[in-house]
Amino acid sequence: GQQLNQSPQSMFIQEGEDVSMNCTSSSIFNTWLWYKQEPGEGPVLLIALYKAGELTSNGRLTAQFGITRKDSFLNISASIPSDVGIYFCAGVLSSNTGKLIFGQGTTLQVKP
Amino acid sequence: GAVVSQHPSWVICKSGTSVKIECRSLDFQATTMFWYRQFPKQSLMLMATSNEGSKATYEQGVEKDKFLINHASLTLSTLTVTSAHPEDSSFYICSGLRDSQYNEQFFGPGTRLTVL
């Protein structure tokens, strides 16, 4: 079945550092979404990408839809303690169903 | 923003009982809602797609008679875990599809189910 390979699995960084994570797949996606999940909560949508090559920012977050439509990355600049959480990429395979395929998640810890 | 609520936020039940979880889209209409389960330190696994006014579509390996889904209105979907067993203990999360053109799913806060 389709899979998204998300890396790294976890990161432990110093406050103020920049962070980068990515997702790759053997399948082509029409839409890439990036979510953040905190303990005991549901995922919160951070950024949505709809076109190959698209680069979109949301505050300190920047994400890009790869030109091959098989990958995406998320960057967080100048990290702060509240950035702690699990970040998931998700791809929409079929616009007809809206079903998402999730990556395994990247756990981010920020040391003040 | 798009807000989705779930109720209850947590539930503890005895083995063999049934539990109903509600998912509501508060500020948008969701023709399609999705139900996921998540085990500790794992990603979200799609269980089923809930369509308003029609039968749910279940993912492979998910028992439709055990996980009953009802999408009675454009703002409410329910998941009933029937004859729950300890292995059904998990974090259940729903999402609503706000705009089918853009495929943006907005998630509820989740329901922690513990079956004793």
Give the confidence band of A95 by pLDDT, cuts at 50, 70, 90. Answer: low
- The Cα–Cα gap between A31 and B104 comes to 9
Cβ–Cβ gap A43/B107 under 8 Å: yes
Q: Distances from the Cα of B13 to the Cαs of A5, A46, B21, in angstroms? A: 36, 34, 13
A 29-68 residues inside an 8 A Cβ radius of B: 30-31, 33, 35, 40-45, 48, 50
Q: Least CA distance to A38: which residue of chain B?
A: B109
pLDDT of res. A2 = 62
Running DSSP on this structure, what letter comes out for residue B94? E
pLDDT at A96 over 70: no
pLDDT of res. B54 = 87
> What residues in B contact A100, CB-CB < 8 Å?
34, 46, 103, 105
Q: Specify the amino acid at residue A23.
A: C
**Contact status of A85 with chain B (Cβ, < 8 Å):** no
Cβ–Cβ gap A42/B107 under 8 Å: yes
pLDDT at B41 over 90: no
Give the confidence band of A61 by pLDDT, cuts at 50, 70, 90. Answer: very high
Instruction: Name the 3-class secondary structure at A82.
Output: helix
Q: Distances from the Cα of A43 to the Cαs of A48, A80, B24, B108, in angstroms? A: 13, 19, 16, 8
pLDDT of res. A94 = 64
